[in-house]
Structure 1
């Protein structure tokens, strides 16, 4: 009897059955990646897309009971082709876009006249500027920003009382952006960045790491934790256990703050991991999770509102009633001041979950998840005001 009552209450809270067709486009702007020293971690061909397809299956299952049809179209832009032309074709087909594109291209797509009434989801770019000065009112973000990841690491360092830090950064734009987020976060949490160096080696570290890295890191002096910003995953793998001082490593190697990783198994995550592995034949990565979260957020909003209208969905997603079960122990939601999805950040090694941020003791007047990344008083985003 209790089960029947709960089922009745659940369906009573949903809108009346109405035929709704939800068409989404997964728009992927392919990029030529710079060469890296190791091929141990190749970038999957369907990175992100596999996560979107898992979420689509969930949406279809729920929608079947409510008269809702969910479709996902895929459009690729080869290197050198015009992404705006393909984006216009995508917007002619659907007003809900899941976008994997470089940050400048993402902004140009959001600024298209055809995109004014659309709703776009950034699932691949962590740039803080996209949530700040370059934000767009029609662009939401399901991938954590560099600032969110950096704050998760700094909370852990503060918790461990590792107050003196050093930083090694690569030269790729993503490396420098992540390094800047780490600097800002260190100041935010009262930690001291004692020394910095830029990694600009072009030698083959697979043979020389044991000779070069100790000499390179000796100049950093004394520190408690070594931060490494290498978002291409080029050189960071050669840093641990080769440093002059025996100290822990975090950032792009060692302890990493990610949206998702294979060691995440609590809060029902093992079930999602297993479903993804069955579908894709590999482990779920952060970008897969971001695409999954975007498609599921759309599905949840359609279920609750009974509408596929982008304006209706946007209002609900940014409102206080939206909550997405994201297998992280806390419901996910969107920040109304910059469109960033609130979410816990797992702190992982390659084989284990060390902790999940926000850590205990980091309080907030509204949501502890807002201790990660740009809070409302700190935002430079004007489009959501």
Structure 2
């Protein structure tokens, strides 16, 4: 009996060890079986990057530092270019999803210089859309070259009516308003206010005379009366430094003393020789309008209506100043190209041009309504802002000035009046 107990004791540990071994083997086998049962994960597919197409937009500007009677009116160095850069960023926001990358190629020349060689080099670099901030003569010198090379020009600087009339071109889109559009916008408001009697003071430079002509045309068109005119001749002084406050205070009342009774003094001084000195210095206390006082423009830095606050804030954040008319014209031109590329989902110049020329084309530019092109001369229809240095007073067209096609066509040369034969 004692021997059997000893044998049983010796068997227990062996049996227990065998059981533990089998248990551990089964536990270790579970993960292996589980791993074998799981499907093999496929290799992660490589992300295919969409090819990026570059859409180059050229910017050709005639620039030199400008003088002004007031230091507050000296144009900023990046006027126009700043607006184009903001629009490039706006275009790329959408373009990134479509594989489009917009770039701006800025080229500067001196006013009056020969720009043909530089323009040809821009074409060679691939600029098929070019913003032109040039004089009328410079713009005309490249218009036909651009047409022959399939380049679209967007005029953002020259307000000359002749570029839309006698010298119009099929490949030049005019974003800047004409002098006649600006003058008509001003005249409508003065007539609406029932201030129809005007006197006109104009400068001795060509641009001053052209704006004076636009004001005379507006008077005839809307029922204003220009009772008297005077030319203020540029004597070649150093402007601010040669004319002291006391001298101005005495000269301007005398200069306006012999003018007949009137409601408003119109000023045509695009050359910045005397206009700033007219308000509050006339012999008879009257409002001043034109290039001084109440001024018509394509945009106003204080505009906040129709979403204007949004574009003003984005522009100010990027550039540290408010948006000016040329900034808005440049922004609009770049957005026209960007919108066309986005809507067509194409970078092909033929498709983009066809979209811009389509009957249903329009562009939103924070001006209260969609803007469209006049097909007879490719001038952009747009409201005209009237304001002083502080705020927007009103926008034209004014209430009551009707048109059978678009009230915006009450501003500037209408289709029945046009002399344009596109070529």
TM-score by length of 2: 0.82
Counterpart in the other structure of 2:192: 159
Aligned mates of 2:379, 2:245 — CA distance in 1: 38
Counterpart in the other structure of 2:102: 70
- Name the CA shift for 1:80/1:257 in 2 (closer, same or farther; >3 Å): closer
Aligned mates of 2:272, 2:299 — CA distance in 1: 16
Question: How far did 1:19 drift?
Answer: 6.0
Counterpart in the other structure of 2:117: 85
Q: Deviations over 1:168-201 (max 9, x none)?
A: 1112222111111111111011211111111115
Unaligned runs of 5+ in 2: 1-49, 236-241
Question: How far did 1:332 drift?
Answer: 1.1
Question: How far did 1:247 drift?
Answer: 0.9
For 1:111, what is the secondary structure of its paired residue? helix
- Name the CA shift for 1:79/1:217 in 2 (closer, same or farther; >3 Å): closer
For 2:419, what is the secondary structure of its paired residue? coil
Unaligned runs of 5+ in 1: 1-16
Summarize the alignment of residues 187-202 of structure 1 with structure 2, pairs less than 5 Å apart. 187-200=220-233, 202=235
The answer (yes or no) to whether the contact 2:111–2:135 under 8 Å persists in 1 is: no
Q: Is 1:305 aligned to residue 332 of structure 2?
A: no
For the aligned residue pairs, the C-alpha RMSD in angstroms reads 1.9
Summarize the alignment of residues 1-385 of structure 1 with structure 2, pairs less than 5 Å apart. 20-31=53-64, 33=66, 35-78=67-110, 82-93=114-125, 94-112=127-145, 115-200=148-233, 202=235, 204=243, 206-383=245-422
Aligned mates of 1:36, 1:113 — CA distance in 2: 34
Aligned mates of 1:238, 1:330 — CA distance in 2: 36
Give the stretch that moved more between structures: 208-217 or 298-307: 298-307
Greater RCO (Cα-Cα under 8 Å, separation 6 or more)? 1
- Name the CA shift for 1:69/1:183 in 2 (closer, same or farther; >3 Å): same
Aligned mates of 2:331, 2:111 — CA distance in 1: 25
Aligned mates of 1:80, 1:358 — CA distance in 2: 35
Tell me the matched-pair count.
367
Question: How far did 1:142 drift?
Answer: 0.7
Larger radius of gyration: 2
Question: How far did 1:135 drift?
Answer: 1.0
